[in-house]
């Protein structure tokens, strides 16, 4: 059954095999080719009505014929969203992370109207057409479906859920934990950026990228499950832990090399740790780094997914549990020290 796995050698499509919020550094533009397939069966659809790309500036040109599509000029190692429209299917959004310069054969899902209607009927829900629906695949560290995860561990604010699907991808109305399929559904998801909420006494941590929900659209996501409550880094070193992020994630190459971010924001993120610290903390006080409101620091918001999108050309941090995002956040919370 296709809904259990959706991976190719070149890319990872969120919803079946996206197992980390970490995105490798941005690279040279490459074409991305693949097919749109039915979420439940895995079979190629008859035809594509439309494909909309988000999260990239400039947007790549999109061509499609039958079930096949090609995107030109996609920066290698970047995360972006695909919204596909197919006859007799709900418009379906998923996230793609390109991890190779040779990208061909990816499979992007579309959830059929009949499948969504069956879930709504099975759970006794009348979905609002003004809101969205999220299909979340819970997986373990190896990418396999995670069973036995209790619904008390996670929620999406303002929604109807979580509701669990059984091993055959059917509604399990009485279930309170995930089945061997690992699939969960949330109905009536408010339009905008979607993120999981977890309490302080949870028994499992679920790492799900921030994704976009829209009216009458199905959003497919993946959540990596680890045992225990979330653990934040501590005593973060600017020189040893923060500075290396900017090289590893492609920030230096983009801002100070030949990348599309060169000279944007008067930021290079290159040179010694002293120079980088001066750029971030001293040149524009309380803007790039905000001690009073760390989450609003530009060094965190610009490379993150936002609705509406900001001027940053791509998404670097796909969610608030990205390990590098957390290092930066904790470093700012600890006083943005030059240590």
Which pLDDT does position 262 carry in this prediction?
Answer: 63
* Cross-strand partners of 92: 84, 218
Alpha carbon distance 272, 123 (integer Å): 57
pTM, rounded to two decimals: 0.74
pLDDT band at 11 (very low <50, low <70, confident <90, very high): very low
Q: Is the pLDDT of residue 326 over 60?
A: yes
Which pLDDT does position 241 carry in this prediction?
Answer: 92
Kindly report the length of the chain. Answer: 339
**Closest by alpha carbon to 75, among 27, 31, 25?**
27
Q: Is the pLDDT of residue 338 over 70?
A: yes
Structure tokens belonging to residue 244? 């290396």
Q: Is the pLDDT of residue 10 over 60?
A: no
For 270-285, letters b (16+ CB in 10 Å) and e give beebeebbebbbeeee
Q: What value, to the nearest 5°, has the Cα angle with vertex 21 and ends 5 and 151?
A: 65
**Closest by alpha carbon to 144, among 336, 306, 37, 16?**
16
For 227-246, letters b (16+ CB in 10 Å) and e give eeeeeeeeebebeebbbebb
32 vs 210 pLDDT, higher one: 32
pLDDT digits (tens, 9 = 90+) for 243-263: 988 887 778 777 776 666 666
Q: Which residues contact 70 (CB under 8 A, 6 or more apart)?
A: 31, 32, 33, 62, 63, 64
Which pLDDT does position 249 carry in this prediction?
Answer: 77
Alpha carbon distance 113, 173 (integer Å): 20
Burial class of residue 255 (count of CB atoms within 10 Å of its CB; 0-12, 13-18, 19+)? buried
Query: If you search the block for the tokens 């977890």, which residue do you land on?
Result: 198
**DSSP assignment, residue 323?**
H
Mean pLDDT, to the nearest integer, of 63-85? 90
Q: Is the pLDDT of residue 17 over 60?
A: no
* Mean pLDDT of the residues in the chain: 85
CA distances to 234, 255, 304, 305, 314 from 26, rounded to whole Å, are 28, 11, 14, 15, 9
pLDDT digits (tens, 9 = 90+) for 276-298: 999 999 998 899 999 999 999 98
Which pLDDT does position 16 carry in this prediction?
Answer: 38
Domain range list for the chain: 1-231, 238-333
Query: If you search the block for the tokens 């009927």, which residue do you land on?
Result: 121
**Closest by alpha carbon to 95, among 54, 126, 151?**
54
């Amino acid at each position: 059954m296709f809904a259990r796995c959706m991976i190719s050698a070149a890319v990872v499509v969120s919803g079946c095999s996206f197992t980390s919020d970490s995105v490798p550094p941005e690279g040279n533009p490459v074409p991305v080719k693949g097919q749109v397939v039915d979420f439940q069966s895995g079979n190629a659809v008859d035809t594509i009505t439309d494909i909309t790309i988000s999260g990239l500036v400039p947007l790549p040109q999109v061509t499609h014929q039958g079930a096949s599509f090609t995107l030109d000029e996609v920066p290698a190692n970047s995360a972006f969203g695909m919204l596909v429209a197919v006859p007799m299917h709900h418009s379906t959004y998923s996230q793609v992370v390109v991890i190779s310069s040779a990208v061909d054969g990816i499979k992007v899902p579309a959830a059929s109207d009949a499948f969504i209607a069956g879930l709504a009927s099975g759970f006794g829900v009348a979905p609002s057409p003004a809101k969205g629906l999220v299909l979340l695949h819970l997986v373990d560290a190896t990418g396999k479906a995670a069973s036995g995860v209790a619904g008390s561990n996670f929620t999406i604010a303002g929604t109807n859920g979580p509701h669990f699907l059984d091993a055959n991808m059917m509604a399990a109305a009485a279930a309170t934990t995930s089945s061997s399929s690992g699939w969960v559904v949330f109905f009536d998801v408010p339009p905008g950026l979607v993120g999981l909420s977890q309490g302080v006494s949870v028994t499992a941590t679920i790492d799900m990228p921030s994704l976009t929900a829209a009216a009458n659209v199905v959003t497919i996501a993946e959540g990596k499950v680890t045992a225990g409550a979330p653990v934040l880094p501590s005593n973060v070193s600017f020189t040893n832990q923060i500075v290396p992020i900017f090289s590893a994630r492609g920030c230096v190459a983009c801002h100070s090399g030949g990348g599309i971010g060169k000279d944007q924001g008067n930021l290079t993120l290159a040179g010694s740790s002293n120079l980088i610290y001066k750029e971030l903390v001293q040149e524009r006080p309380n803007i790039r780094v905000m001690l009073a409101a760390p989450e609003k620091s530009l060094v965190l918001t610009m490379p993150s997914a936002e609705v509406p999108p900001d001027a940053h050309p791509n998404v670097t941090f796909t969610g608030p549990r990205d390990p590098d995002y957390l290092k930066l956040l904790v470093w700012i919370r600890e006083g943005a020290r030059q240590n």
